[in-house]
Chain A
Amino acid sequence: MDLKQMYREIVNEHNLHPTHKHDMENPTMVLRGVNPSCGDDISLKLKVEDGVIKDGSFVGSGCAISQASADMMLDLVIGKSEDEAKRLAEIFMNMIKGKASEEEIEELDEAAALEDVSHMPARVKCAQLGWRTLNEMMEEDEKNDSHKN
């Protein structure tokens, strides 16, 4: 998919009419993710109960690719377990590095459309922002849990 097609077919819709870009009351987890070089800056908020992501949202600003990618990510991970969300985030990161299999990429649903960002080095960080933040959140949570045990 060329760049303009990617914007038209997938990115613009999620950027202009995001489902999950709004604030959330009483999230159980909040983490800010920033791309210092381009100024993408989001706060990811999740409500997790019994290890399952019940709800999620993000606020902030950034380019269309970063915002659309975060929106698609939340579409995918809401309702999933933390472990599953972490696994999907890892697949996404691998896809952007050109290292995921076709079967894995299919699991990403709509977000799979961002596969071609792997050929656009300048945009890699934009696409990864939400997923990287999610991944850090999950790792942070695991650490906290292991401390409790």
Chain B
Amino acid sequence: MSEPDFRKDFPILKDPKFIYFDNAATTQRPQQVLDAVEHFYRTENANPLRGLYKWSIDATEDYEEARRKVAAFIGAEDPCEIVFTRNATESLNLVAYSYGMSSVSEGDEIVVSVTEHHSNILPWQMVARAKGAKLVYLECTKDGVYTDEEINAKITEKAKIVAIGQVSNVLGTENPVRKIADRAHSFGAVVVVDGAQSTPHMAVDVKKLGADFFAFSGHKLLAPMGIGVLYGKEKLLDEMPPFLTGGEMIEYVTRDSATYAELPHKFEAGTVNAAGAVGLGAAIDYVSKVGFDYIEKKELALTTLLLQEMKKDPHITVYGSDDPAKHCGIVTFNIEGCHPHDVSSILDADNVCIRAGHHCAQPLMQYLGVNATCRASMYFYNTEDEVRRFVASLGKVREELGYGS
């Protein structure tokens, strides 16, 4: 059976010279997404939500259609639970500033995990500092697993907010969000899920996850940069104060007071990124066409091959699970004696694109006892041929850095 050729839809991937293995940082965009954005600007560009003429009405309709697509895509109850933001980072900050600052008090606990991206740590550090609350860390095993004992020990009646990533951007492990959410809910705490690394790779259902809030970025899901999503349960969003104030989020304003627009517009101050939302809608259509069955199968095949080939090199250390099914397309590693920045520079000379550094997860780097790591992250449009060429390129790094082969 021949494989479907999705790669042909991605203009930037047409140059076979480049191996793009930095998909956990941002994915590439298919022609369908580029066309949707261009179509918006070419045929109906106007400021949505306000105008009373055709272009603005069309722009509004397409913007709201994108919201309905997102709601269906992640299993939200109602499109009003979908707030468009710039990215997952802004979504998480919105929850911290609006919900966190108005609900957390002195002596409360905010629970985060050691595998979090900085964007799901720093907003909570801010809330904890401002409110005199305590930040509590869930610690994982070296494979990145959160045990029941750890979950039960750290999430207690003091917890007000539990913030957890669904998939680690370094180890690729999927966290037991449902279990964590059930424990948190039993104490009345609210669960904030960072879905930046999961949404592109697996079917998400916010209700099944038990998420009260769920954040993700469009650009890791084939959509343009600058469009992100915050899902929040209607009841919670309704009670929260606005995050940003100004235009397009009001109902009525006097000199000294204002009443706010209904959900979700209360949280979308200023002119929105309508073209970005339309692009995200097109990306969701595209991903749905590809299907998560295919995405998961392809990523597993690529990860299996990559881990198997890397294991043959005694100088390579891979972080996280031995099981390729627990990597979500992400393989983080180090080459003995070689700093990740040198590794990625040398690979760059072979047109191989990977990430090197701390991956915005310094607490996890400290936990792993490393300053920095290399990260290869794959998506469904990558190929086994690319994996082989990548491994061949890796095999030359030590020699290029002056170690005898």
Residues of A within 8 A of B (CB): 2-4, 7-8, 12-13, 15-16, 37-39, 41, 61-65, 120, 122-123, 126
Contacts and interface: CB of A to CB of B under 8 A. Distances in A.
B349 A3 contact: yes
Given A63-B341, A65-B341, A38 B372 contact: yes
A64 B339 CA distance: 7
Contacts of A62: 339
A126 B400 contact: no
Contact of A120 (B338, B345, B365, B402): B345
A38 B371 CA distance: 8
B290 interface: no
Greatest chain B CB density within 10 A among A2, A63, A65, A126 is at A63
Interface in B219-233: none
Given A15-B401, A16-B402, A65 B346 contact: no
A7 B402 contact: yes
Greatest chain A CB density within 10 A among B339, B346, B403 is at B339
B401 A12 contact: yes
A39 B357 contact: yes
Contacts of A41: 371
B341 A8 contact: no
Interface residues of B, number: 19
A123 B342 CA distance: 9
Interface of B: 338-342, 345-346, 348-349, 356-358, 365, 371-372, 400-403
A122 B356 CA distance: 11
A13 B402 contact: yes
A73 B400 CA distance: 23
Nearest to A6: B345
Contacts of B349: 2-4
B401 A122 contact: no
Contact of A64 (B342, B348, B372): B342
Contacts of A16: 401-403
Contacts, number: 56
A7 B397 CA distance: 11
Given A12-B402, A61-B371, A38 B341 contact: yes
Given A2-B349, A4-B349, A123-B345, A37 B357 contact: yes
Greatest chain A CB density within 10 A among B338, B346, B357, B402 is at B402
A122 B400 contact: no
Given A64-B339, A123-B341, 17 more contacts: A2-B349, A3-B345, A4-B400, A7-B401, A7-B402, A12-B402, A15-B401, A16-B401, A38-B341, A39-B357, A39-B358, A39-B372, A62-B339, A63-B342, A65-B341, A65-B345, A126-B341
A123 B403 CA distance: 21
B357 A38 contact: yes
A15 B341 contact: no
Nearest to A41: B371
Contacts of A61: 371
Contacts of A64: 338-339, 342, 401
Nearest to A2: B349
6 contacts: A15-B402, A16-B402, A37-B358, A39-B357, A39-B371, A120-B345
A79 B346 CA distance: 35
Contacts of A4: 346, 349, 400
Contacts of A39: 357-358, 365, 371-372
Nearest to A13: B402
A3 B344 CA distance: 11
A41 B348 CA distance: 24
Contact of A7 (B348, B357, B372, B400): B400
Contacts of B346: 3-4, 7
A123 B345 CA distance: 8
Given A3-B349, A4-B349, A38-B357, A63 B402 contact: no
Nearest to B338: A64
